[in-house]
Structure 1
Amino acid sequence: MNLEICNLTKQYKDKIAVDSVSLNISPGVWGLLGANGAGKTTLIKMAVGIAPPTSGKILYDGIEIGALGEAYRDILGYLPQDFGFYPEFTVLDYLEYISALKGLSKNRTKSKIDELLRVLNLTDVRKKKIFKLSGGMKRRVGIAQAFLNDPEILILDEPTSGLDPGERVKFRKFISEFAQNRIVLISTHIVSDVEYIATCNAVMKDGKIISTGSTGELVKAVEGRVWESIISPDQLDRCERNTRIVNVLNEKDGNLSIRYLSASPDIPNSKPAVPRLEDLYLWLFPQDKSEKEEI
């Protein structure tokens, strides 16, 4: 089982959204990390076959996905950033409708929907109209439809948008268990979604894949660039102007514990900190730059 992205490019007039991307995706959880505007969604749309590439190709087990046609869609689960539904659909109506589109039998449809409603904590709202649900519940309905056909390839675009922290933890556990002998690709800018469950991460910036590897391999890029120090509250404003601070914690004595990114220790009494994937993300995608619309 292998999904191979070969020199994939997507150009819109004078804008190159995806620029010669190549990835060899094997079973397990893969994180596709990048800021808004990096090209993640465009890459995802080509990977699921709903947007044709300008050049390059995508192969599943050595065969182009266009040639596989319906056979590829049969083994694919996909959650877009925004999934559509008829306003009058209840949760159950919608999942039964998607099951019919995917060709599931009635018996399989019932058992699978019951399972997903239970796992995603949607059983109590199964007869409620989707448009009346909270944002987090709507997102869970979208996640459920992607799992209906037990896909061999599961591609999720910003799956935890709108979920609360507890729901995110449950989602990560669910994905980790599901990914046995399957390909799961999660496109996200929420680093915690993939930091501990991803087999491999690909970091995308300005339409290109700039780095791939496990979390441990990737964070080596910021070793010696993550620092911690204790400062007084009146020092914070100056430190924020001159240093890329990523976390501030109030101490019991009234001082502040800060975590910051720098090529050298800029603040007195700084100590090196163990780098995390979030540190790498913030190093590559500084938050002081205005975010672009995702493409």
Structure 2
Amino acid sequence: MDDEHPSTRTFEVLSNEVRLRIITALGDASGLDGYATLAFSEIQRAADIDDSGQLTYHLGKLCDKFVEETDGGYKLTLAGIRAYQAILALQGGPTVEVDPVEVDRSCEECGAGLFAWYTDGRGHIGCRACGTIDVQYPVEAALVDPENPESVTDALDTRIRRDHNAMFHGSCPYCGGATETTLKTESDYWEAANMNPQELLIQAACTRCSWFVIANAAAVLRTMEPVRAFYAERGVDIWSEPIWTDVIDWVVDDVERDPIRIHGHLAFDGDHLRVTLSETFELLDQQIVADA
């Protein structure tokens, strides 16, 4: 019985330099209009393969799984596109560091102003006075500009917003796997990363590739339509606010343990959106209450 793991066959196919050059040639020829279809001769030139027999052999190894043959030539399959994306991600790029730039928010620990900066492949938002880190997340160097420090906050907000919206709604943006959302009452992760501990942390983890995100409750609540509507009716587009916004005034009123139920409210200009959430952060109940 063949008990070879599927990944073994995948890596065998991709462990050849010529095949990686073929995938790269097809990917590099693509543009904003979509992924390219190249003729045999075009691949041969782009991949710098002199021997046509060698190209025929390696195209045969790639076809069906990573490359498909069409009437117009050859193009990447979905798996081929993923392989091309992985090749780009692993290509060495310049080391990028961006000097700190002040953001419009104060540190909850000491009251000093917060700053954003980029180093070691991650965007950070934190306090230079007390050392507390509020936000830390991977961001590709290509998305930041050392000459424009504010590009760090733009890139960080865009990447976290995308990942939160996907991960906390059941889908991993990296491998397409299903995600599971759970409540984390401990702050071990935040303490290990020198980040600001929160009363309630919410984790979404991919059941396929194990990528995960951890956020405070307010960051997850903003992805829910009733919360967006609550703020929109009061003239605030909460989805346009940066991920570190202090516009969301979230208060936990009570946490029941068996079963876990989170009771809390969001406050804005005298109105309160009271919500009840499950252990998996499913919205169970909502009610708008105005101050007496």
Q: With structure 1 as the length reference, what TM-score do the two structures score?
A: 0.28
Higher relative contact order (CA 8 A, sep 6+): 1
Q: With structure 2 as the length reference, what TM-score do the two structures score?
A: 0.28
Largest Rg, 1 or 2: 2
